[in-house]
């Protein structure tokens, strides 16, 4: 058997050892991955929620309040000047 007839060895990439990405495909297209930071972690949690489960809907509302409340308070503070 000639060396040219042998199949090429399968190369192992570093990505082969990582678990699958928890982000939806649109977030992956925007460049979010597990190394992006806190916003990516929040996005991963939010994308893992199932709207059919009531506990997940409660968590989604809590996340919305936690993210939205500082924005509302800052706008209120700016308008109160």
Total count of domains within the chain: 2
pLDDT for 30-41, tens place per residue? 777 767 766 777
Q: How far is CA 78 from CA 65, 70, 71, in A?
A: 19, 12, 11
Q: What is the pLDDT of residue 2?
A: 56
φ/ψ of residue 48, rounded to 5: -85, -5
Which residue segment(s) compose the domain that 73 sits in?
Answer: 52-81
Instruction: Assess if residue 5 is contained within a domain.
Output: no
Q: What is the pLDDT of residue 4?
A: 65
Instruction: Assess if residue 27 is contained within a domain.
Output: yes
pLDDT for 10-37, tens place per residue? 777 777 777 777 777 877 787 777 677 6
DSSP 8-state class, residue 81: -
Same domain? 14 vs 40: yes
- pTM here? 0.53
Q: Which tops the pLDDT comparison, 10 or 62?
A: 62
| Rounded-to-integer distance, Cα 49 and Cα 59, Å | 8
């Amino acid at each position: 058997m000639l060396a040219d007839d042998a199949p090429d060895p399968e190369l192992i990439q570093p990505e082969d050892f990582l678990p699958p990405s928890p982000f939806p495909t649109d977030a992956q297209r925007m460049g979010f991955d597990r190394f992006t930071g806190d916003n990516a972690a929040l996005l991963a949690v939010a994308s893992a929620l199932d709207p059919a489960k009531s506990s997940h809907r409660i968590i989604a509302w809590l996340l919305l309040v936690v993210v939205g409340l500082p924005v509302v308070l800052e706008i209120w503070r700016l308008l109160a000047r």
